[in-house]
Structure 1
Amino acid sequence: MAHDLLTMGRISVDIYPNDIGVGLADVSSFGKYLGGSPSNVAVAAARHGRRSAIITRTGEDPFGEYLHRELHKFGVDDSFITAVPGLQTPATFCAIMPPEDFPLYFYGRFPTAPDLQIAASELDLSAIREAGIFWSTVTGLCQEPSRSAHLAAHEARRRENLQAGQYTVLDLDYRPMFWGSEEEAREQVAKILPHVTVAIGNDKECAVAVGEGTPDEQADRLLEAGVEIAVVKLGPEGVMAKTRNERVVSAPVPVETVNGLGAGDAFGGAFCHGLLSGWPLGLVLDYANASGALVASRLSCADAMPTPHEVNSLLAERGRNVPAPVEAVR
């Protein structure tokens, strides 16, 4: 049976402090969680009842075993995950300094990480072609063999191979520590964009992909590159989505922020759920915004992903439109 959502790329163990508002040097205890943006997006979609899976690689170590166990717990298919002998599963540390300061420290990713050792030869191209949504990130393009594997996956998702209701999403998650320059990243993104139907990013990420400009100018450039839905996050002003004949802005859903790191991944998983449900674009954005807000109000990322009931309750509480129930997909 085809997956509703198949993501590809980064996975790690998130090590988050239990002490809020304290620098890492002074933290006394930590919690351990599943992490990595594509992994979190898969979990978020599973929370909304979607059949999700991830293509990635871990180290051949206890942390890798832990990540498999967590994916099982969340109902995410881990059959496309293999271990890389000789490499360690990455760990990501974060300081929790609300409301806006959440610095990340990556360990085990330099000079390479297991999830950057995904090879084109090991891809299940049939599963990639058949998935309702295929989701990848710019980070996956930063290094070989992952770069060639992502290109092969996107070639399999060529527009002529897609059916109605299928989408190919590129998360424009540019992280400068993984790249030599912005120009290098822009060159690689340009190779992928012709096969992308949805691109999602904030102002800086869109600027790396298609150049500086207003949100509308950046969205227009993404559409000119072949994207069908350009989603530009506007920070405190919410999020805008633009197609060739529609422009929608969704206002933010205010919450007291505890940890903003997982909000974008919750947004992504909920956005995919809304697309697959066939909702109007404005409703998709509102639902995704509320999902992201709920995770921002919680400590962890994967463990904090909300259920449809929680999202709908928040939307109703804030006087926003609540989507009609979706028939169970499991």
Structure 2
Amino acid sequence: MARAVVIGEVLFDLFPDGDRLGGAPSNFAVHAAALGADVHLISAVGDDRYGKNAISSLTAVDVDTSGVRVSDSPTGTVKVTLSAGHPSYEIVEGVAWDEIDLIETSRNHLKKAQLLCWGTLAQRSCRSEEAHRQLFDLVPNSCLNVCDLNFRQHYHDADVVRQSLTHSDLLKLSDEDLPILRSYISGPKDDRDYLRDIRHVYGIRVAVLTLGERGCRVSARNVDLSVPGISVQVVNTVGAGDAFVAAFALNLLQDADLRLSAETANRVGAYVATQDSGTPSLPSEFRIVD
């Protein structure tokens, strides 16, 4: 079983019709566990109703929450507004996931990790950013380091972006992330050439640009793939990108062909987009790791 460690925000998305557990790293953890990985999650929640619900819900789907610290600050919340199934966010500040620490249990998991996943949002506070910086001295050299940029509002800066790219083996970004990344790091206008240059400069093994219903573009050494998307009736795109990168990363960890990895990830992401949940139960046929 693949040993994965995920770090970042655990929060509740406040939709007009109810509150749901969310946060990109939390979603990734749930999807990776469903796809067959042994997942250890590093985060922080409050000693409140949302925090207790988060721990209970994550544990129920086989995510190891022993690295989720209980903070005096409240569990994170985000007001989500949907337009044609596509979300916009209002993210509350001063919450538990702004206070992420690496406890001893997490350090032990990191030393044995085969896959590590992180993003940029949870690095908005100095404390949580420092926790992220410690990761890379702890994981084995063989660990697949996965960065899902996942830019949100104004919670990113050039230093966090460059540090994240420097440590990435697999970089995932969406078509919404791309112009923001370009604002930090200039390069060719053509997306294919831009991804190639980013890989070369930062030593990234694979870069994947997701394009929603249009599929994705995969850039690697001597590889440039455009993999078409899957036409589905979109209900809610929240969590679809997290499912995509979990599937792609686990396939890559299994030494799968890049096109197969992308096609599988497209299928998993498309399925999630047809569900009214960022972390629906995945069909057993999607399982990647035995």
How high is the TM-score relative to the length of structure 1?
0.80
Secondary structure in 2 aligned to 1:38? helix
Secondary structure in 1 aligned to 2:100? coil
Secondary structure in 1 aligned to 2:231? coil
Relative to structure 1, the CA distance from residue 281 to residue 89 in structure 2 (aligned partners, 3 Å threshold; closer, same or farther) is same
> 1:3 Cα shift?
5.8
Relative to structure 1, the CA distance from residue 252 to residue 327 in structure 2 (aligned partners, 3 Å threshold; closer, same or farther) is closer
**Alignment partners' CA distance in 2, 1:255 and 1:168:** 31
Secondary structure in 1 aligned to 2:208? strand
**For the Cα contact (< 8 Å) 1:119–1:145, is it kept in 2?**
yes
Count of matched residue pairs: 285
> 1:283 Cα shift?
0.6
- Asked if residue 258 in structure 1 is aligned to residue 235 in structure 2, the reply is yes
After TM superposition, the runs of 4+ consecutive aligned structure 1 residues lying more than 6 A away are: none
**For the Cα contact (< 8 Å) 1:186–1:208, is it kept in 2?**
no
**For the Cα contact (< 8 Å) 2:67–2:102, is it kept in 1?**
no
Letter in 1 for 2:207: A
> 1:83 Cα shift?
0.9
Higher alpha-carbon deviation: 120-129 or 191-200: 120-129
Give runs of aligned pairs for residues 88-103 of structure 1, distance below 5 A: 88-99=74-85, 101-103=86-88
- Asked if residue 83 in structure 1 is aligned to residue 62 in structure 2, the reply is no
- Unmatched runs of 5 consecutive residues or more in structure 2: none
Give runs of aligned pairs for residues 226-237 of structure 1, distance below 5 A: 226-237=203-214
Q: Name the structure where strand makes up a greater proportion of residues.
A: 2
Q: Which residue of 1 aligns with 2:158?
A: 186
**For the Cα contact (< 8 Å) 2:66–2:105, is it kept in 1?**
no
**Alignment partners' CA distance in 2, 1:177 and 1:13:** 19
Cα deviation 1:7-37 (Å, max 9, x = unaligned) = 10011122334xxxxxxxxxxxx33322110
Q: Which residue of 2 aligns with 1:23?
A: none
**For the Cα contact (< 8 Å) 1:16–1:95, is it kept in 2?**
yes
Letter in 2 for 1:230: A
Percent identity reads 24
Higher alpha-carbon deviation: 282-291 or 208-217: 208-217
> 1:194 Cα shift?
2.3
* Aligned counterpart for 2:96 among listed residues 102, 107, 114: 114
- Unmatched runs of 5 consecutive residues or more in structure 1: 18-29, 180-184, 312-324
* Aligned counterpart for 1:132 among listed residues 114, 117, 123: 114
Secondary structure in 1 aligned to 2:217? strand
Q: Which residue of 2 aligns with 1:146?
A: 128
Letter in 2 for 1:6: V
Letter in 1 for 2:211: L
Over aligned residue pairs, what C-alpha RMSD do you find?
A: 2.2
> 1:76 Cα shift?
0.5
**For the Cα contact (< 8 Å) 2:46–2:70, is it kept in 1?**
yes
Relative to structure 1, the CA distance from residue 195 to residue 62 in structure 2 (aligned partners, 3 Å threshold; closer, same or farther) is same
- Asked if residue 214 in structure 1 is aligned to residue 200 in structure 2, the reply is no
Letter in 1 for 2:88: P
